[in-house]
Amino acid sequence: MAKKYHLNAWELKVVRGLRSIRKSPLFIRLYHKIPHEHLSRFPYDTLPLLIASALTGLMAVAYEKLFELFEFVSLSIYEFSPYLFFLITPLCFVLSWLLVRHFAPAAAGSGIPQLMAAAELADTRKSPLTDRLLSVRIACIKILSSLVLLAGGGAIGREGPTLQVAGSVFQTIYRLIPENFNKVSQRIMIITGAGSGLAAAFNTPLGGIVYVVEELTKTHIGKFRTAIFTAVIIAGMTAQQFLGSYLYLGFPKIATLPFRLMGWAVLIPLLSGLLGAAFTRMALWAAGLRKRLNSQSRQLMFTILLGFLFAGLVIQTGPLSIGTGKALINKILFQNPESLSWATFPSRFFGSLLSFSSGGAGGIFATSLSSGAAFGSLMTKLTEIPDIHQNLLILLSMIGFLTGVTRSPFTSAILVLEMTDRHSAIFFFLLAGLLSNLSAALVMKESFYEIQKRKFKEALENS
């Protein structure tokens, strides 16, 4: 096989270190003690997948712990003095953007479009371009930039970034595989990295598999089946060793929806899907505006302005506008949503938009769920839905908003299903995904990720 990559200096050291271990007397002695029939049966081609999956699980755990720490820092700043955000937020927005701009431009934003672009470029004559979308450098800047943005109160998630970081892990392992090794294809490595990343980020193995099937693969699933299942299982089990077998959103109480309220089970997903698609259209508009500001000084001023606007929003609406929004979802589903202001939904919606448009790294999966939950809570309050039926409609709103953003209805439905373990509502969840996808198409014919993926590919191919 022709050599595809020029290894970096640190990669050469790793390869040489592995070779020296293989030639060491201890390794040779152990190798000869293992029965030959066992060695001949070992699936060597899956070994890189196993290693990459385990590393992805460990990375996802570490990233989540760091995310929780930095979100706690931003909330502590708010408790000390909300007005400090007028200083800290613009500073963090700018630093997050500069890290990406100067050290790893491909680390900007969610990371899912970059992963999708890399998967399409893999195993083609342009496959070396994947190194400019997935690498150790990009993964490190991705994590650092998102944490800085979060420290400033940014309303972002870690799930999209986790997928790009996981893809970078799998891509790096693929690069390190010896050329004479019977290795799986590069595309399989990248795609399974996406599935394992999502599974480890949300503790949703089925969600990881469905996402790969729905969003990332355009060929027959049979080619990827074993690799995807293996990667998702290993990454998920590794994460569970440290985090336990937890549910991302716990066990919200839901009740059978009576016939007289069925109309709301249709209308709320339709409206939330429209809002999710509107969010992506506004995010694309903001990205286009930033691009038209074709000097660094103008983009700097734009980022500072976004920081000041977000700080003002937080001061006006409170700490629930900060961070991933998971605390807000828990409050809505398990505590007293009656105490929430009508402004909770617009604050989450525009807070996520301002944070995501800052140019730094940050995801919109978790923030879309929190925006959907806030919208669902607002709708059930305005329409005076009985308390016992509110949670189900709020979960449908979460699925609808996320579908409007990602245009992946089945993934959205399965993610919320696994996050809550509410299997009795599976048909409502699937219906919500389909309805919201239909309404979102009225606003955006393509998903945000598809549009951004195409832009990344064009930029790479024209550079």
Do residues 311 and 403 share a domain?
yes
Examine residue 13 and state whether it is found in any structural domain, yes or no.
no
Examine residue 11 and state whether it is found in any structural domain, yes or no.
no
Examine residue 267 and state whether it is found in any structural domain, yes or no.
yes
Do residues 332 and 368 share a domain?
yes
Band (pLDDT 50/70/90 cuts) for residue 2 is: very low
Examine residue 241 and state whether it is found in any structural domain, yes or no.
yes
Do residues 425 and 304 share a domain?
yes
Examine residue 254 and state whether it is found in any structural domain, yes or no.
no
Examine residue 18 and state whether it is found in any structural domain, yes or no.
no
Beta bridge partners of 361: 109
Do residues 268 and 401 share a domain?
yes
Do residues 237 and 280 share a domain?
no
Do residues 240 and 274 share a domain?
no
For 388, the domain range is 259-447
| Per-residue model confidence (pLDDT) at position 245 | 58
Q: Can you give the pTM of this predicted structure?
A: 0.87
Q: Which CATH number is 284's domain given?
A: 1.10.3080.10
Domain count along the chain: 2
Do residues 284 and 323 share a domain?
yes
Indicate whether 233 pLDDT > 70.
no
**Residue where one domain finishes, among candidates 247, 273, 289:** 247
Do residues 126 and 194 share a domain?
yes
Do residues 89 and 207 share a domain?
yes
Q: What is the mean pLDDT of residues 65-76?
A: 93
What would the 3-class secondary structure string for the chain be? CCCCCCCCHHHHHHHHHHHHHHCCHHHHHHHHHCCHHHHHHCCHHHHHHHHHHHHHHHHHHHHHHHHHHHHHHHHHHHHHCHHHHHHHHHHHHHHHHHHHHHHCHHHCECCHHHHHHHHHHCCCCCHHHHHHCCCHHHHHHHHHHHHHHHHCCCCCECHHHHHHHHHHHHHHHHHHCCCCCCCCCHHHHHHHHHHHHHHHHHCCHHHHHHHHHHHHCCCCHHHCHHHHHHHHHHHHHHHHHHHCCCCCCCCCCCCCCCHHHHHHHHHHHHHHHHHHHHHHHHHHHHHHHHHHCCCHHHHHHHHHHHHHHHHHHHHHHCHHHCCCCHHHHHHHHHCCHHHCCCCHHHHHHHHHHHHHCCCCECECHHHHHHHHHHHHHHHHHHCCCCHHHHHHHHHHHHHHHHHHHHCCHHHHHHHHHHHHCCHHHHHHHHHHHHHHHHHHCCCCCCCHHHHHHHHHHHHHHHC
Do residues 229 and 291 share a domain?
no
More confident residue, 292 or 44: 292
Do residues 377 and 397 share a domain?
yes
| Per-residue model confidence (pLDDT) at position 78 | 93
pLDDT tens per residue across span 180-213? 666 678 888 888 888 888 888 777 777 777 777 7
pLDDT tens per residue across span 126-159? 888 888 999 999 999 999 999 999 999 999 988 8
Q: What is the mean pLDDT of residues 274-303?
A: 92
Rg (CA), the chain: 23
Examine residue 175 and state whether it is found in any structural domain, yes or no.
yes
Q: What is the mean pLDDT of residues 411-418?
A: 88
Examine residue 438 and state whether it is found in any structural domain, yes or no.
yes
> In percent, how much of the chain has pLDDT > 70?
85
Do residues 387 and 339 share a domain?
yes
Lowest mean pLDDT among 1-10, 13-22, 294-303, 397-406: 1-10
Band (pLDDT 50/70/90 cuts) for residue 3 is: very low
